[in-house]
Amino acid sequence: MSIEAKQSPLDMKNKKIKQRAVVICPGRGTYNKDELGYLKRLHGDKVELINLIDEYRAQQEQMAIAELDGMDNYTMRLHTAGENASALIYACAMADFQSINRDEYDVVAVTGNSMGWYIALAAAGVLSPVNAIELINTMGSMMTNGVIGGQLIYPVVDDNWQISKERLASVEQALLAAKQVENAEVYLSIALGGYRVFGGNQEGLSALAKALPPLDDRYPMNLFNHAAFHTPLLQDTANKAQQLLSPALFDSPSIPLIDGLGNIWQPYSTDVNKLYHYTLQTQVVEPYQFSKAVEVAIKEYAPDKLIILGPGATLGGAVAQCLVADNWQGIKDKGSFIDCQKTEPYILSMGLTEQRKRVTS
């Protein structure tokens, strides 16, 4: 050992032990009215990232994300359009990822929900910054000429965030009934903690909505401007994506990645071609098991913290419900989760000011 490499007992004692963190990347629907100005407020220093994205979008004759984020008013049709929402959410999330205090946190794995998988690829180093915006913008722009199908969401947990066998049974029965309706196509799209997201054509979603028992004057809830992601209805989208995007965009991850099937892609053993196929074929047309991804993250990596990138903080509830389902560290219901968050929060959502401070300072 060289003189420079030697450390005294005092040095070792004073050396700060980093907290292990799994980073979770958000999906569509996380840049809402309250998030307008997120980049301007929090990421004025991320000029290189924002300029790179906007230079690419300028080549596609698309509005700059700096302009979209800087608008005085939020417009549903403008800000939730796939070609805009995907780039905005990527920019906010990646800027948040760059803001994590690496002296405090050791990022041991990355995962994401739905579109968040593409952001996770960028965060883990599979996609370079240039390649990341090409893939994300391309996938986000697939519905520019018309959204294919739609999505609706429905809870399968009770008020304590515990899985309700009765609601699960109702959902299964409703799905079976909807599939019997003429011309109806409807499928599970995302297993999202205490919720199930379904994707389908209009006939399928209408049939499912009628078959599901109404809850809280909110559910079943249609998701505005969302296509039938993660269902067979997007097979043509998957085919087109593979024609437009080359496997050469992909590299091996530098940080372990957990996908929407719960598989782990390791830095030194990843088959890049298989990762490409999973990204642009499998997860485009098959259900995204986000709950499984979180379960694998906590059980395989035993992180001290789960850090959820912004914008928004809506994903926190779904992640918490995953912890409840596994009774993780004594979190057995909504109340115990809230108690945990008050004392020493396990989930840190960067879209929440107080929790963000713990991640960045």
Is the per-residue pLDDT at 4 higher than 50?
no
pLDDT of 234 higher than 80: yes
Give the pLDDT confidence of 235-276 residue by residue, as tens digits. Answer: 999 999 999 999 999 999 999 999 999 999 999 999 999 999
Q: How would you label 318-348 residue by residue, b for 16+ Cβ within 10 Å and e otherwise?
A: bbbbbbbbeebeebbbbebbeebbeeebbbb
Q: Which helix (H) or strand (E) holds 19?
A: strand 19-25
Which are the contacts of 208, defined by CB distance < 8 A and separation ≥ 6? Answer: 152, 174, 175, 178, 186, 198, 200, 220
Residue 15 is predicted with a pLDDT of 66
Q: Which CATH class is domain 150-226?
A: alpha beta
And the tokens for 35? Answer: 């998030």
**pLDDT number for residue 29:** 87
Name the residue ranges covered by the structural domains of the chain: 18-145+234-360, 150-226
**Residue 361 pLDDT:** 76
Where does the pLDDT of residue 7 fall: very low under 50, low under 70, confident under 90, or very high at 90 and above? low
At 339, the amino acid letter reads: D
Answer with the residue of higher pLDDT: 13 or 48: 48
Mean pLDDT, residues 147-153: 96
Looking at residue 17, what DSSP letter applies?
A: P
pLDDT of the residue at 8:
55
- Mean pLDDT, the chain, rounded, equals 94
13 pLDDT above the threshold of 80: no
Q: What average pLDDT does the segment 118-130 reach?
A: 98
The verdict on domain 18-145+234-360 having CATH code 3.40.50.620 is no
The answer to whether 308 and 350 have CB atoms below 8 angstroms apart is yes
Q: Which of 198, 147, 157, 191 is nearest to 177 (CA)?
A: 198
